[in-house]
Structure 1
Amino acid sequence: MTTGIERRHLLGGAAGLFAASLTGFRPALAEPGTGPLELAVAARAPTTPTGLTLAPDGRMFLFMPRFDESTVFTAGEVFPDGRVVPYPDEAVNRPDPARANERLFHVPNGVVDARGRLWLLDAGLMASSGEPVPGAAKLVGLDLASNAITRTIPLQDVVTKTSSLNDLRVDARPGREVAYITDQGQDGAGALIAVDLASGRALRRLAGHVSTQSVEGILKIVDGRVLLKRKADGTTSPIQGGANGLALSPDGARLYYTPLMSRRLYAVETAALLDPARDDASVAETVRDLGEKGLTGGLAADSRDRVYLSLQEFGAIGRRDPDGRIEIIARDPNLVWPDTFWITPDGWLYLSAAQANRRPEHNGGVDRQQSPYGIFRMRIDAGPA
């Protein structure tokens, strides 16, 4: 086992300095088939890095939603020394309502698909609330060899005035080229979106269904504090969040998902989501309630159909087996708002610690986030789904 001191020497640079300052950093648990949790990189992101993906050659990308004007760029590439630079460049990251289909506005997540293409989900927002900029909600495909935009798929017809697109999964196996998106809704009224990437057809699904809606009365405690919206004058309001995390089963037949403010995990048949001949009532017949799983942000599934859970209340990583059993496989106080997972073909599970609960809107206008942001990883005994 690599010790914490050895890891710090291996990481070097800014990452090493960050590791040296970690509070009680340690391999908290050693479940069968997993390695210790370790710091992969200390990312000097300008603000909240909710999204994370890696290319087959190891290139890492972070995504920082444009919650406010402090978000100087929303998509970035991470270098081993912790630098995060605008991707594909600074100009594309400069929002412009007059060029809504050409610029990036609010990217909460992105994924590298099985064909090596990077897909960015742009919610089209200029802040954490407000109507999406007309024409700005979209999927953007990039070629990683040239760093050039090759596809733009509009999502204008499947967003609402209160939409907040959140997570993305792309299934690009032979004979299939589709994407799935969550809309958590600024008012907690969520939905799923299924996209045929070949044709660009997008369908809004399960809006109003219990499985995509924020649950009232949920108490969420993160980083030792009840999560609320807190204004500078001391007034508070509850957090709302509909359909949020996503994961695909290994065969692509089921989509796992959950609202941000819900303790339950759901699954739906992807064939139903994608079939334009089926109405929402017919799609809803394929939804399964898989039971409680804790309060989470991101999800991921591995090649053994186990679902990984970012347990934000506990600063932990959970894993749900196909039989419904859930176990904690890692825990550390530095996992502050664990969010997006990424599983590499060689068996590394990566996870971002986004610190979203430390944002100004949760702390009376005071920004308590601390850069650099930790990107963690651990060995698992499986590859991606």
Structure 2
Amino acid sequence: MLFYWNHLDWHFPNERMEREFHSHQYWRKCMPGGVKTDRQGNYYVSVPRWAEGIPATLNRIVLKQGKPVLDAFPSWEWNQAGHVHALQSVLGYEIDEHNRMWILDQGKINYAPSPEGSQKLIVWDLDRNEQLASFVIPNDIAPYRTSFLNDLAVDHKHGFVYITDSGNGWPDHPVDAAIIVFNMRTGTFRRVLGGHYSTQDFPGFRFAIDLQPVYTGKPLRIGCDGIALSADRSTLYYCPISGRNLYAVDTALLMDFHTPLEAVGRAVRAIGSKGTTTDGMNADNKGNIYFTMLEEKGVGLYQPGTGGFYRIVSDDRMMWVDGLAFDQRGSIIFNSNRLHQMFNEPEPTIDWSYPYNLIVWRMFIGSDVKSYLYA
């Protein structure tokens, strides 16, 4: 365990913000999403604004009196809610091989429709601490009402980014999920596999963790979420949360924006069941695909060469594992955030007195193991 909390807390810029945060108990809806580390060894964590009162949606972990707290990144000004050019709600992001952070802004706060200009892909240079580019994701690519921009994979070799839109941004409405492809050279987006069976929630899907049904009041319905790009950049893997299957499609088809949408759909391959539902995914420089195991409380591995699925780590405290990443020093890092307890309906079931509710984990894999980005 690198860091752990019973609930998240921040290094606030002033006493007023700190007092308001604690008096309203906004921490009850502060969930760590993705965790990453840069080449300097700094750790970052996203906290999506799925409720009001989240102080900052993208953060760096710092120590305050020996305890880990969050500090807004790249600044508090950049995290102002209601300012469409600032970061509104970040879940997925990536730190590439050039030490640049690709930040995917969902745009929406508390599941309200995304204001125009708020959905965007921002590129931030971590060495120079400055913005390099910002690309607005329009309504025709990610509908402001239904979109739920989730995670992404970056391919500098060919100049593309792949994004999952989980399509659950409108509560109590059918899922409208898809894959979004971004061409770095032209600055254009394309939406593919919209409504395709592989990107949607599996009909009637139910699952439980520790024999406790997830979301006791109503079933969880989330489309494609986890996404991973093979080390040779030829295959994109993805999966829904509401389902156990892993899917794949050749990136050559996705990179050609003239490929008919029907042809992309026909090319999707159902790899098979992971034996568990999954949130975060990632890939290493050896060709392996890593996936979180929600039902089995840990992290699993898929080896394309053998077609085998394997469990590599599990722990009773790994409740709702997400945010798989690499530290480029031979280890994977990930977090467990008890999403299913924090956001359970009709009432949360999380025990806020438990010290290990939220954990950032590190596991050594091998001295030569790095992210797919370093293949």
Superposition TM-score, scaled by structure 2 size: 0.85
In 2, the alpha carbon distance for the partners of 1:141 and 1:368 equals 37
> Within 5 Å, which residues of 2 pair with 1:249-328?
249-293=230-274, 294-322=276-304, 323-328=306-311
In 2, the alpha carbon distance for the partners of 1:351 and 1:271 equals 30
Q: Which deviations, in whole Å up to 9, do the C-alpha atoms of 1:74-124 show, x marking residues without a partner? A: 10011364121111111211122xx41x11111011110111101110011
In 2, the alpha carbon distance for the partners of 1:366 and 1:225 equals 11
Number of the residue aligned with 1:26: none
Number of the residue aligned with 2:164: 182
Number of the residue aligned with 1:14: none
Shift of 1:260: 1.0
Residues 67 and 367 of structure 1: CA distance in aligned 2, closer, same or farther (over 3 Å):
farther
In 2, the alpha carbon distance for the partners of 1:89 and 1:107 equals 14
Shift of 1:365: 5.2
Q: Structure 1 segments of 4 or more deviating over 4 A?
A: 365-372
Secondary structure at 2:198 match in 1:
helix
Structure 1 unaligned regions, length at least 5: 1-38, 231-235
Query: Which of 318, 323, 332 in structure 2 is aligned with 1:349?
Result: 332
Structure 2 unaligned regions, length at least 5: 10-26, 169-173
Letter in 1 for 2:345: H
Paired residues in the alignment total: 335
Secondary structure at 1:210 match in 2:
coil
In 1, the alpha carbon distance for the partners of 2:78 and 2:351 equals 28
In 2, the alpha carbon distance for the partners of 1:142 and 1:280 equals 32
Query: Which of 197, 218, 238 in structure 2 is aligned with 1:237?
Result: 218
Letter in 2 for 1:341: L
Residues 123 and 205 of structure 1: CA distance in aligned 2, closer, same or farther (over 3 Å):
same
> Within 5 Å, which residues of 2 pair with 1:192-231?
192-228=179-215
Shift of 1:284: 1.8
Moved more, 237-246 or 338-347: 338-347
Does the CA-based 8 Å contact 2:297-2:319 persist in structure 1? yes
Number of the residue aligned with 1:27: none
> Within 5 Å, which residues of 2 pair with 1:118-197?
118-127=101-110, 129-156=111-138, 157-160=140-143, 161-173=145-157, 176-186=158-168, 187-197=174-184
Moved more, 213-222 or 244-253: 213-222
Letter in 2 for 1:259: P
Question: Does the alignment pair 1:379 with 2:364?
Answer: yes
Shift of 1:380: 0.8
Does the CA-based 8 Å contact 1:126-1:133 persist in structure 2? no
Number of the residue aligned with 1:12: none
In 1, the alpha carbon distance for the partners of 2:316 and 2:289 equals 22
Shift of 1:147: 2.3
In 2, the alpha carbon distance for the partners of 1:198 and 1:373 equals 39
Secondary structure at 2:263 match in 1:
helix
Superposition TM-score, scaled by structure 1 size: 0.83
Shift of 1:244: 0.4
Q: Which deviations, in whole Å up to 9, do the C-alpha atoms of 1:279-333 show, x marking residues without a partner? A: 2111123211100012010111112211112101121111111222112111111
Secondary structure at 2:121 match in 1:
strand
Letter in 2 for 1:206: L
In 1, the alpha carbon distance for the partners of 2:4 and 2:348 equals 25
Does the CA-based 8 Å contact 1:245-1:297 persist in structure 2? yes
Letter in 2 for 1:263: R
In 1, the alpha carbon distance for the partners of 2:102 and 2:347 equals 35
In 2, the alpha carbon distance for the partners of 1:196 and 1:42 equals 38
Q: Which deviations, in whole Å up to 9, do the C-alpha atoms of 1:240-285 show, x marking residues without a partner? A: 0001000110011111100110110001111211211112111123
Question: Does the alignment pair 1:87 with 2:73?
Answer: yes
Letter in 2 for 1:202: F
In 2, the alpha carbon distance for the partners of 1:72 and 1:226 equals 31
Moved more, 52-61 or 362-371: 362-371
Residues 365 and 319 of structure 1: CA distance in aligned 2, closer, same or farther (over 3 Å):
closer
